[in-house]
Structure 1
Amino acid sequence: MATKKKIGKVAESAKKVAPSTFERAMKKVGVTAPKAKPATNWDLHQEIEAFLFRQSEMLDAKQWAAYIDLFANDGVYWAPSLPEHEHWDGKPAIFIEDRDLMSVRMKRVLHPNAWSQQAEWATNHIVSNIAIEHVGKDGTIQVRSRFHMMEMRRDDLRHFGGIYRHTLKRTKDSFLIQLQRVDLFNAQAAYEYVLQVWV
């Protein structure tokens, strides 16, 4: 029940960062235009850039506890199954997790009997095209970026790409993630095995 309430609190944020033209672009050539003119506060831009780079480094280093700590107490990680989804209520999703569910996933993956994780396995993330789309009066910041993740498991290689949409909250020293939306370019592709951790 607590998890459902926390996820529900972020529903309005999800609507704010829902793509308006992204679904059409994805169907055609996979190119989307910014919703608004990007902000030009370069100091803020560099801070956010460093934050997103650090987040991806944590994933590649499998520092999942530190990764989860980047999320606010009411933070949500959401990967919709279709880019036109503006909210997750009643919609299928690849991921829809708050911090509690993320911790459950981490413990399952780290369990010594998690045989799916015993094979040689690694990821490599690249984040680029970072743009600040909106800075709210309440201190929240809407950020859009592109990503590419390469996943290696023994001799198998998979690629995932798409768009990150972050809703960030300013803290004293950095930021916390209120919502991370992940629109996978190849969300509808067929895979031999499911994603075990976050993209």
Structure 2
Amino acid sequence: MTTIERVDSRQQATRAEIEDFLYREAELLDAWALDDWVQLFTEDAKYEVPCNDALDGDPSTDLLLIDDDINRLRSRVVRLNSRRAHREYPHSRTNHQIFNVRVEGPDDNGEIGVRAHFTVWRFRGGRSYCYVGKYRYRLRRTEAGLRICFRRVELDMSDLRDVSDVAIVI
């Protein structure tokens, strides 16, 4: 994290501003604008998807489906944008729906906690799959606007066999 990246962290974001930010993120994912999507993250960002049988999984002691820092996240975007990503070429069609957004005040570091529920529909090869769960974010206000410094996706499904895989960015 650079000092240039931070701005006055005491400036609270409004619920509408946060919801618009989350809707914009969903729009970028649905459009497969992954290069633009990854720019929503800070340089010290973490992106986690714990196994669905251990939603409280800690990446320091537990296996996670996804445990990315910004460099791994950028590599994931490069791979998903490649024709060599056989699971996602041609790209799935997705529809991200976000609801029940809850905003927590800034913490001591000025990061805004956000919780939300989601449904992501994925359409591929004549079939549809539905992912359901919760998002947990920590957002930081920067000179470029709100940015994600932490994103955790907790899947509510007890079994992932019916949804094929988690190759998409949920």
**How would you bin the TM-score normalised by the shorter chain?**
0.7 to 0.9
| Aligned AA (2:50) | P
Flag the 1:44–1:120 CA change in 2: closer, same or farther, 3 A. closer
User: Matched residue of 1:164: which SS?
Assistant: strand
User: Matched residue of 1:195: which SS?
Assistant: coil
2:96 equivalent to 1:129: no
Q: Would the aligned equivalents of 2:30 and 2:93 in 1 still touch at CA under 8 Å?
A: yes
Q: Would the aligned equivalents of 1:105 and 1:197 in 2 still touch at CA under 8 Å?
A: no
2:156 equivalent to 1:169: no
Q: List per-residue Cα deviations over 1:118-153 (Å, max 9, x = no partner).
A: 346211000011111232243111011111000000
Flag the 1:71–1:167 CA change in 2: closer, same or farther, 3 A. same
Query: Which one has the bigger strand percentage?
Result: 2
Higher alpha-carbon deviation: 180-189 or 93-102: 180-189
Partner of 2:23: 53
Q: Would the aligned equivalents of 1:120 and 1:154 in 2 still touch at CA under 8 Å?
A: no
* Aligned mates of 2:91, 2:141 — CA distance in 1: 37
Aligned residues: 158
Cα RMSD for the two superposed structures = 2.0
1:133-148 to structure 2, matched below 5 A, reads 133-148=104-119
1:73-84 to structure 2, matched below 5 A, reads 73-81=43-51, 82-84=54-56
| Aligned AA (1:48) | I
Partner of 2:9: none
Query: What TM-score do the two structures reach when normalised by structure 2?
Result: 0.84
Partner of 1:69: 39
1:9-158 to structure 2, matched below 5 A, reads 44-81=14-51, 82-85=54-57, 87-119=58-90, 121-158=92-129
| Aligned AA (2:99) | S
* Aligned mates of 2:146, 2:15 — CA distance in 1: 12
Flag the 1:61–1:187 CA change in 2: closer, same or farther, 3 A. farther
| Aligned AA (1:140) | E
* Aligned mates of 1:189, 1:103 — CA distance in 2: 25
Q: Would the aligned equivalents of 2:88 and 2:168 in 1 still touch at CA under 8 Å?
A: no
| Aligned AA (2:63) | P
Q: Would the aligned equivalents of 1:141 and 1:168 in 2 still touch at CA under 8 Å?
A: yes
User: Matched residue of 1:168: which SS?
Assistant: strand
User: Matched residue of 2:27: which SS?
Assistant: helix
Greater than 3 Å deviation, 4+ residue runs:
none
Structure 2 regions of 5+ residues with no counterpart?
2-11
User: Matched residue of 2:14: which SS?
Assistant: helix
Query: What TM-score do the two structures reach when normalised by structure 1?
Result: 0.73
| Aligned AA (1:55) | E
Higher alpha-carbon deviation: 112-121 or 159-168: 112-121
